[in-house]
Amino acid sequence: MFLQSTLCRFTTKLFQSRCGTLLAIRPYHEVTGDIITPSQVRGIDHLRDPRLNKGLAFTLEERQTLGIHGLQPARCKSQEEQLKLCEISVNRYENPLNKYLYLSDLHDRNERLFFRFLSENIEDLMPIVYTPTVGLACQRFGLIYRRPHGLFVTYNDRGHVFDVIKNWPESDVRAICVTDGERILGLGDLGANGMGIPVGKMALYTALAGIKPHQCLPIMVDVGTNNINLLEDPLYIGLRQKRVVGQEYDDFIDEFMEAVVRRYGQNTLIQFEDFGNHNAFRFLEKYRNNYCTFNDDIQGTAGVAVAGFYASQRLTQKSLQDNIFLFAGSGGAAIGIADLTVKAMVLDGLHIEEAYNQIFMVDDQGLLTTSRNLDAHQAVKYVKDMPPMSSLAEIVGVLKPSILIGASATGGIFTPEILRMMADNNERPVIFALSNPNIKAECTAEDAYKHTDGRVIFSSGSPFPPVTMGEKTFHPGQGNNAYIFPGIALSVICTGTHHIPEEMFLIAAQELAKFVQISDIERGSLYPPLNTIRDVSMNIAIAVTQCAYDRGLGSTYPEPQDKRKWLESNLYNYNYESSMPTTWAWPRMPYVKTRELQQISVNEKEENN
């Protein structure tokens, strides 16, 4: 305590003597946000903090100055050399979950190296840090949990949610991804184990859009679980109780939303992730005009799917309004895609009622028709006045859709018979099997190409390996939400947008489709390669930024004229910076040498005498 107070007095005196005025000084040993003052962190603490640690990349001068000389072997490595070692290390593991654990450990040790490695190898590593491996990680979360990457807010914290959120050490959070774990991917209710999803999403915010990691906060709202296996699992880390429902649940979520805004401001982006369908739509409608929020399962999925529809037009030579859409599934993803598709068709000049008439939906009981009691169903606007049909094969045979979209989380329902019917009815059938992970996909890429004689225009929610048909090899594209949400989030954060209209997701879909090259389509993909996704995110961010200012939604003024340059100036830099404490974050000043501190101490004593 004496050392701490002495250092604070020394630095205060130094500021007074060099700057002529007394400026606020950050608390001792606080390493948060963008403002990191390495001179306040010395010795082994510098190696233990992932924000400051550079591994063996510390130079000899840095090691001596920071008090870590001798704590590391003599070899000094560049970040490029470290990246090669990361590649060697991760490739040693055959099990994807082990690769996930290695990357998680790297994140805990060296933040900049982790994000650079992820960003520059996104095509290989995205399936590890997110779908499909993250699903396995969530299922075994109690076994692999090591240290916090986000906040756990439980129902037992009701009345004190704000106090819990204050415990997060960052004060400059701009984006939050929150889940209650009820519908994790296609795996169902995983309770608190679902924390792996917002952690993965926030990592992609940084890796794919350059959003600063300290501005991102994953949160698990733990209200219990109805998964009996988890409740009986001794390794389960969440509340051991059935899910809280009804008004008590709604009041708790209300308190959470109010606490977030109270702590971080009204423009804080809140992304809802993997909530049950019965809650996802309610919360989107309830909060979208009062908070800066969106639901990725509904709106992000819609954006990437509609982008695929746009790109498919180059092969089908049809406009959107010339298609018949059939959705296998009537949950959040299906309705989100359908709603955005309607907006796209209306933008093309079709009347809204005509657009609704071209979209059909099927659930586990069959076609949504007026003969069924669906008044309270979110998909009621897609109900048709037709005879009931329960078999998907029968429905495909009668309706003859040109675009078949799977969002059912039911693996294999696009049978060979259905795939052949799609090929018989269309020269170039469009089939999207969007459910994930792979075991939940409505069909595999191989089956889609095989049973349509290679004529299918295919996309999936999870990655599938290439498929060879005769002399041609197809590389099916993955309709991953990661093409959409990072770019929108970057724009929303930088512009201080206070509400996110559906128009922004349609703009994002259009920008993504523009980025697709003929070479991508020829190889069988409706999406650009994943290794271009940072460029895609930037293009989306630029277009959405323009929309924000045109609509009067942005609150960062003045409006930047060169939006690309302005957005780039806000990006996270994952390259190492000098760890020499030669400057303070503000104001700029020379490094405080020991002799100067001693002189200040002498002067202070003379003044006191």
Measured in residues, the chain has a length of: 609
Contacts of 77 (CB under 8 A, 6+ apart): 55, 56, 57, 85
> What is d(CA 571, CA 581) in angstroms, rounded to the nearest whole number?
23
Between CA 370 and CA 408 the distance in angstroms is 21
Distance CA 417, CA 415 (A): 5
Residue 201 annotated as catalytic = yes
Q: Answer for the pair 307, 330: CB distance below 8 angstroms, yes or no.
A: no
Q: Can you tell me the distance from the alpha carbon of 191 to that of 579, in angstroms, rounded to the nearest whole number?
A: 41
- Cβ-contact 500, 492 below 8 angstroms: yes
Angstrom distance (rounded) from CA 464 to CA 531: 16
Candidate list 54, 201, 343, 563, residue with the active-site label: 201
Half-sphere exposure of 125 (CA within 13 A, CB side): 27
Give φ, ψ of 175 to 5 degrees. Answer: -140, 135
In the block, residue with structure tokens 């590389």: 475
* Structure letter (DSSP) for residue 524: T
> Which residue bears the tokens 């219990």?
224
What's the Cα-to-Cα distance from 408 to each of 64, 276, 440, 506, rounded to whole Å? 59, 14, 8, 23
Strand partners, 366: 363
Count CA atoms within 13 Å of residue 274 on its CB side: 36
Residue 588: what are its φ and ψ, rounded to 5°?
-70, 135
CB 508, CB 303: distance < 8 Å: yes
DSSP-assigned letter for residue 188: B
CB neighbourhood size of 147 (10 A): 8
Identify the helix (H) or strand (E) that includes residue 254.
helix 246-264
In 3D space, the residue among 157, 79, 69, 78 whose CA is nearest the CA of residue 111 turns out to be 79
Enter the tokens of residue 544: 């959405």
Catalytic, out of 100, 130, 155, 572: 130
Q: Are 24 and 34 in contact (CB under 8 A)?
A: no
Cβ–Cβ under 8 Å, residues 506 and 340: yes
- Closest to 407 in 3D by CA, of 357, 479, 464, 350: 479
User: Is 450 designated active site?
Assistant: no
Measured CA to CA in angstroms, residue 497 lies from 466, 545, 546 at distances of 40, 9, 11
SS3 164: helix
Write the secondary structure of 203-216 as one string of H (helix), E (strand) and C (coil). Answer: HHHHHHHCCCHHHE
CA distance 329 to 352: 22
C-alpha distances (whole Å) from 311 to each of 107, 250, 546 are: 36, 40, 23
Tokens of 427: 């020269």
Active site residues: 130, 201
